[in-house]
Structure 1
Amino acid sequence: MHLSGVHHIAIICSNYERSKKFYTEILGLKIIREVYRKERTSYKLDLALNGNYILELFSFPDPPKRISRPEAAGMRHLAFATPNLDSCIAELTKHQIKSEPIRVDEHTGRRFTFIADPDDLPIEFYEV
């Protein structure tokens, strides 16, 4: 098997407009394509970071809740690399998004923090 990279990550949101705003206006991901799938009563939003397709945002009527804390079984979190964690936190704070206290990776010495997206999914910002 030869894998060449991660193609995308898919997220189902409970409030499409709120999540669309969060991922595009606050995190700055760019819209590649947005389609409404009438037969599913569902939106599908393809998003890019630095020109690379990375995220699919879906809406479905009344999706069930999922345990999502970083230590729960399943996907742990979505992590974004940032060259400056302090400016990233300052930008989040401007949008009234609270981050956890900064931690330091004991193996790399790099700083990181977590926030929650509009559906309480954990998102990490890792300073590189």
Structure 2
Amino acid sequence: MALARSAQQKTTGRARERRSTVSVVCKSLFGRWNQPSASQPFVKYGIRPATALLAAGTLAVTPSPKLSGGQVEVKGLHHVALLCENLERSLAFYQGVLGLDINPERPHHKLPYRGAWLWIGPEMIHLMELPNPDPLTGRPQHGGRDRHFCIGVASVEPLVGKLEAAGVQFTKSMSGRPAVFFRDPDMNCLEVVEMESWR
């Protein structure tokens, strides 16, 4: 029995060792494949191996069964759509504070509401001047606990200076990563994180 237990512990130890060295590969918002190197383990960026999630018990995620039919070939993220109350105010924020450019190839005159398309690398933000059905009060103070999307930048510090100059409140990432969370004039939450080490 002791021999069987010893063999089981060795097997379990080897399995743990294999699982803890699994490389995480993801595609960034910029459409580039990111692979952590041995000198930069993925845990540094707040990504935990699946075994850590499984050990969390109730926090573990069970994969949903895939529906039958043809394979969906996902190519990446095309755009994020955001509701705004006043297009000019939103453009002043996204162009003035974040420095984003309008995509002139996506004219908005064919749609029954005002809006604009802004570049984020090869992807876009679609601003839509429409009524917001969601309550704007009662949202978490820290944007990392609210629905949000994330933009990758080379350095967060220039943005922090611009946010401070514009009087935009922000919070730093609670994980210690070089990232900030803040809201646009319509309470849409954004995260901006340094992505250079992921490329």
Class of the TM-score when normalised by the shorter of the 2 chains: 0.7 to 0.9
1:29 paired residue number: 100
Percent identity (aligned):
25
- What's the TM-score once normalised by structure 1's chain length? 0.76
Q: Does 1:18 align with 2:85?
A: no
Secondary structure of the 1:2 match is coil
CA contact 1:37–1:44 (8 Å) conserved in 2? no
Cα distance, 1:80 vs. partner? 1.2
- How many residues are paired up? 117
Cα distance, 1:104 vs. partner? 4.9
Q: Does 1:115 align with 2:182?
A: yes
Q: Does 1:58 align with 2:128?
A: yes
- Encode CA deviations 1:7-59: one digit per residue, 9 max, x unaligned: 11111111211112111221111111342457x3x112111123x23111111
Alignment map for 1:1-128 (pairs within 5 Å): 1-33=72-104, 34-36=107-109, 40=112, 42-50=113-121, 52-60=122-130, 62-66=131-135, 69=140, 70=143, 71-72=145-146, 76-100=147-171, 102-105=172-175, 110-128=177-195
More strand per residue: 1
- What's the TM-score once normalised by structure 2's chain length? 0.52
Unmatched runs of 5 consecutive residues or more in structure 1: none
CA contact 1:104–1:111 (8 Å) conserved in 2? no
Secondary structure of the 1:90 match is helix
Unmatched runs of 5 consecutive residues or more in structure 2: 1-71
Structure 1 segments (4+ residues) deviating >6 Å: none
More helix per residue: 2
CA contact 2:120–2:151 (8 Å) conserved in 1? no
In the aligned structure 2, how far is the partner of 1:59 from the partner of 1:18?
Answer: 11
Q: Which has the higher contact order (CA 8 A, sep 6+)?
A: 1
Distance 1:28 1:115, change over 3 A: same
CA contact 1:77–1:123 (8 Å) conserved in 2? yes
Secondary structure of the 1:63 match is coil
Cα distance, 1:89 vs. partner? 0.4
Distance 1:99 1:63, change over 3 A: closer
* Higher-Rg member (1/2): 2
Cα distance, 1:63 vs. partner? 3.3
